Amino acid sequence: MRWGRFGVTQHGRMKIKSAEFDRSATDLKSCPNWNRPEFAFIGRSNVGKSSLINMLVERRDLAMVSGTPGKTKLLNYFIVNEKWCLVDLPGYGFAKATREKRADFNEAVADYIEKRENLRCTFILIDSNLPPQPIDLDFLRWVGTVGSPFVLVFTKADKLSSTSVEKNIAAFMKSLDGWWQELPGFITCSAKTKSGRDEILEVIAESLASKKAERSSGQIADA
Ligand SMILES: Nc1nc2c(ncn2[C@@H]2O[C@H](COP(=O)(O)OP(=O)(O)O)[C@@H](O)[C@H]2O)c(=O)[nH]1
Ligand SMILES: [Mg+2]
């Protein structure tokens, strides 16, 4: 395949020792003032976001807090291993995104993705059971104009045959042809079988490790 698939390589399996709900933020201004690295999750409602977050941290009901009425339009923070955060962003199914323009799907999400310095990577969830959906493509086009790092995650891969999943993914990637010099990386996952878990944790581990290396090499240079 020409496009990027992430593999589990250097860091092995990352251990999740703790995962706690920390807070809900209403907008960028109310996001915590700390330097914990943040990894955000977004997608249409029902794409499998809560299930994926629970699967990643191996907790059955952690992300359910974001499913409770009133919290679905908030940025929900979970602290993992006391060091970094998963941020459950509001879904974008409830408003229409506009191409090229600053997204009007959710002001808080747009602000967060454009400006949050702590944000290392956004995992953009796409339902692998569906052909390419305009709302996902519109969102992705907008993220592309912002230039914020992201990885595509195709969810619920256990529901269809692997041939059908591959077909939907291929169609989705084909829709992105020519948008970037290289097609974005993607991971296929299932909250049910836990496939894709190691790959997502690997992206996180690699990001955490690379910043640490940068910082320590910076210290050496300063010394
Ligand atoms: N078969 C299957 N069902 C899933 C998977 N992930 C989520 N679901 C189901 O899809 C529905 C929506 O999931 P949820 O995590 O609440 O989606 P959210 O709205 O994006 O947070 C629920 O009925 C889940 O049980 C998966 O990997 N495989
Ligand atoms: Mg949810």
Q: Residue 75 corresponds to which tokens in the numbers above?
A: 């940025």
Minimal-distance CA residue to ligand 1 atom 12: 46
Ligand 1 center–CA 49 separation, angstroms: 7
pLDDT beyond 90 at 55: yes
Ligand 2 center–CA 210 separation, angstroms: 30
Query: Which residues in the chain belong to E strands, given as ranges?
Result: 19-25, 38-42, 75-80, 84-88, 119-127, 150-155, 186-188
Which of 5-19, 29-43, 65-79 reaches the highest mean pLDDT? 29-43
Minimal-distance CA residue to ligand 1 atom 26: 156
Please give the residue that has the higher pLDDT: either 118 or 108. Answer: 118
Could you tell me which residues are beta bridge partners of residue 20?
79
- Planar angle of CA 47, 9, 173, nearest 5 degrees: 40
CB 105 within 8 A of CB 122: no
Rounded to 5 degrees, φ, ψ at 40 are -100, 155
Q: Is 44 in the pocket of ligand 1 (CB under 6 A)?
A: no
pLDDT beyond 50 at 223: no
Give the CA distances from residue 61 to residues 20, 50, 64, 66, 168, in Å, rounded to whole numbers and listed in that order. 11, 9, 5, 10, 29
Q: How does pLDDT run across 115-165, given as a tens digit for each residue? A: 999 999 999 999 999 999 999 999 999 999 998 999 999 999 999 999 999
- Position 212: which residue type? K
Q: Is 188 in the pocket of ligand 1 (CB under 6 A)?
A: no
pLDDT beyond 60 at 31: yes
Q: Is 155 in the pocket of ligand 1 (CB under 6 A)?
A: yes
Q: Is 120 in the pocket of ligand 1 (CB under 6 A)?
A: no
**CATH number of this structure's domain 19-222:** 3.40.50.300
Q: Hey, where are the domains in the chain?
A: 19-222
Minimal-distance CA residue to ligand 1 atom 19: 46
Q: Which helix (H) or strand (E) holds 200?
A: helix 197-222
